[in-house]
Amino acid sequence: MPLPRLDRIRDEIDGMFAQSSMVRNRTIAVLLPCYNEEVTIGGVVRGFLRALPGARVYVYDNNSTDGTYDAALAAGAIVRRELLQGKGNVVRRMLADIDADIYVLADGDGTYKPDAAGALIEALVVRNLDMMIGTRNGDDKAFPSGHRFGNLFFNRVMAHMFGDGFTDILSGYRVLSRRFAKSFPVSSAGFEIEVELSVHALDLKIATGEMALPYGTRPDGSTSKLRTYRDGLRILLMLFKLYKETQPLRFFGAAGTMLLLVCLGLGAPLIATYLETGLVPRIPTAVLAAAIAQLGFLSLAIGLVLDAVARGRREAKRMRYLDLDAVANKP
């Protein structure tokens, strides 16, 4: 006896989206921040709509001067505008505006494969994680050697500052749980948003995972918005800023220790001379050493105070995180 039409449709959807039984009662939002991506955005939107039936695809147009808005709208996306320039500003607005159980964050340039979103979501749900990162696996044309070196450098800096946990902190292809997204206070404005996402996970010791995925090249007519040296410097500065904010005792403690060592280097000969002769021969040097010592102790004190503040902020974010259900707990 032939299946009813509704059952056939359901079987077709299950065939296209193998993990549909795991996410049937979960809402999925695909977030695509865009700036001048008219050439690629239509294909990206249609790709996610095919890969994730039932998901809502949001495109936030970040002051594009081409036809990005119209191309995304024609492809079936929910299109909105964000006037504050920069990817970080767009992601902040997206996570504030949009409610979903699972968020898929990608770029609108066509370098990430929409078909891989299902595998990332499945891993997030099955392993009960809060963030899955699609690590980039591309050839030299898609992922030039200079960018590879920069990525390796930033990964090592991240591991040294915050601990091991990621191999591609700059990947823009991520899947987030609701409790991750709603406990994440975005402060970055530009491409450093990926660094901030990674530090948030490490700071709160949130369960995360990675999956190697193909990384493609941009099609003809599409240009990258990344400025290698300018944005690289911004990413490095963001790492130090987040280190100061999340590890203030170590940050200011290191500064205080260096100042006290300089003080010791300047003052040791003066102390030795004083013990031998009872005189202080170089008064200006003694005054300088005393001033540096004061700065060193002040830096240590600042570190202690800010460490207590950082613990309070971490606990507040953790409590917000715990207020929301884990992605695997929803029936």
Structure token pair of residue 239: 């790492």
Give me the residues paired with residue 210 across strands.
Answer: 133
pLDDT of residue 69 exceeding 80: yes
Dihedral sign (CA 304, 306, 312, 315): negative
Q: Do 154 and 240 touch, CB atoms closer than 8 A?
A: no
Kindly list the domain boundaries of the chain, sorted by start residue: 5-246, 248-323
Which pLDDT belongs to residue 315? 95
d(CA 205, CA 79): 34
The per-residue pLDDT for range 254-266, each reduced to its tens digit, is 999 999 999 999 8
Secondary structure (3-state) at 139? coil
Q: How would residue 9 be classed by pLDDT, with cut points 50, 70 and 90?
A: low
The per-residue pLDDT for range 14-53, each reduced to its tens digit, is 554 444 555 667 899 999 999 999 999 999 999 999 999 9
Considering only 40-54, 97-111, 128-142, 155-169, which range has the smallest mean pLDDT?
Answer: 128-142
Q: What's the average model confidence in pLDDT over 169-192?
A: 92
Considering only 128-142, 151-165, 200-214, which range has the smallest mean pLDDT?
Answer: 128-142
Which pLDDT belongs to residue 281? 78
Q: How would residue 273 be classed by pLDDT, with cut points 50, 70 and 90?
A: confident
Q: Name the residue with tokens 């699972």.
A: 102
Secondary structure (3-state) at 215? strand
b/e string for 26-56 if b means 16 or more Cβ within 10 A? Answer: bbbbbbbbbbbbbbbbbebbbbbbebbeebb
Task: Give the residue with greater pLDDT, 14 vs 178.
Answer: 178
Which pLDDT belongs to residue 327? 86
The per-residue pLDDT for range 117-129, each reduced to its tens digit, is 999 999 999 999 9
Dihedral sign (CA 194, 197, 200, 204): negative
Q: Do 131 and 330 touch, CB atoms closer than 8 A?
A: no
Give me the residues paired with residue 213 across strands.
Answer: 136
pLDDT of residue 312 exceeding 90: yes
What's this model's pTM, rounded to 2 decimal places? 0.84
DSSP assignment of 151-164: HHHHHHHHHHHH-S
Which pLDDT belongs to residue 18? 47
Considering only 19-28, 59-68, 148-157, 224-233, which range has the smallest mean pLDDT?
Answer: 19-28
Considering only 69-78, 170-179, 221-230, 308-317, which range has the smallest mean pLDDT?
Answer: 221-230
CATH architecture of 5-246: Alpha-Beta Complex (3.90)
Return left, alpha or beta for 54; rule: phi > 0 is left, psi -120 to 50 is alpha, else beta.
left
b/e string for 156-174 if b means 16 or more Cβ within 10 A? Answer: ebbeebbeebbebbbbbbb
The mean pLDDT of the chain is 88
Q: Name the residue with tokens 């590879």.
A: 148
Which pLDDT belongs to residue 267? 85
